[in-house]
Amino acid sequence: MTWMTTGAMINPLLLGKYYSEKTVEKNAFVRSGIIVPDATLTSMLNGGGTTGKIPGYKPISGDSEVLKDGVDEALSVNATTTFEEIYTVIARGKAWGASDLAKAFSGDDPLAAIGDMVSDYWSTEMTKILINSLTGVFAGAGMSALKHDISAVGDGKITGSAFVDALQKLGDAASKISAVAMNSRTFAKLQKDQLIVYMRDVTFNIDFPTYLGKLVIVDDACPFNTGTGVSTSYLFTPGAFSYGGNAAPVPVETDRDSLAGIDVLITRYHMVVHPRGLKVNAGGFAASTPTNAELAGDVWTRVWEPKSMPVVQFLHKV
């Protein structure tokens, strides 16, 4: 079925491919390397099911042992330990009537115009899923060593010294942190303090903000508590999240209410946006796939060692 808009034909199959690709391209967390698309995860998602396992090995450790000349070696044999991350499939949908897309109807390229609007929407939804998942991740007791809360210390405001202390939650792995996500209130405060430095990407000829050498992602999905004045920022190492999608059997569908004269565009998105180093308890979900509120609940368990984890939570005021 095709959809007529001002004399141009919209093919749902082409639109689905277009907005799925653009959703990933436009997302700031993907562009920064925090979310890494994983073809294997996409393949697993396409295989069906609402959860899946990502197996791995814990790092090997222990001191090396001295070898002795002419003596039978009796090296101790250390075990290797496995773990399993468990991801959840997130299945969502959204429909719009023609009145919501009226501006797009006048475009020279309806596919691109509507596709851009839809991809912007799903890119924002992907970010909401990521931030809500982080809220749930840090609700668990197993992540307490990776939380830095200065909100009740003195005036509680973010400073360079406090930021360095947050980095140090990863110990000697702190240098791996490459980016920080913050809300616009925090970003504005750092701008006023003249602490934001813009760097130029010569490849794309754009300037991007940094704070103490870390790429800054500004998104108001990062929590701000209006009652307490506490902001939540997140510090990331590359590849903190893995992404797979879009596996919806029918990503785009169209319909028309002929009597009302309304064209309807229906989109569906099946994805995995998985925080690395964790397993999810799907028993905490009311339905087969979670809501944002459920992702933000205490449904996550850490399976990596704390220093191997790719994210730190930083609570502060502005």
Asked whether residue 70 is assigned to any structural domain, the reply reads no
Which of 233, 120, 252, 240 is CA-nearest to residue 187?
A: 233
Tell whether pTM > 0.85. Answer: yes
Residue 145 domain boundaries: 3-59+80-317
Query: 3-state DSSP helix/strand/coil percent for the chain, to nearest 5?
Result: 35, 30, 35
Length reported for the chain = 318
**Does residue 136 sit within a domain?**
yes
Domain count, the chain: 1
Chain-centroid distance of CA 47 in Å reads: 22
pLDDT tens per residue across span 162-216: 999 999 999 999 999 999 999 999 999 999 999 999 997 766 677 899 999 999 9
The encoded tokens of residue 166 equal 């947050």
- In-domain check, residue 196: yes
**10-residue stretch averages of pLDDT, the chain, 318 residues long:** 43 83 93 94 89 83 77 74 90 80 57 84 96 96 96 96 97 96 97 93 78 96 96 98 90 79 85 96 93 97 94 98
| Residue 17 falls inside a structural domain | yes
Torsion over CA: 178, 183, 186, 188 (sign): positive
195 HSE (CA, 13 A, CB side) = 16
Within a domain: 68: no
249 CB-near residues (< 8 Å, 6+ apart): none
CATH at 21: 3.90.1690
Residue 294 domain flag: yes
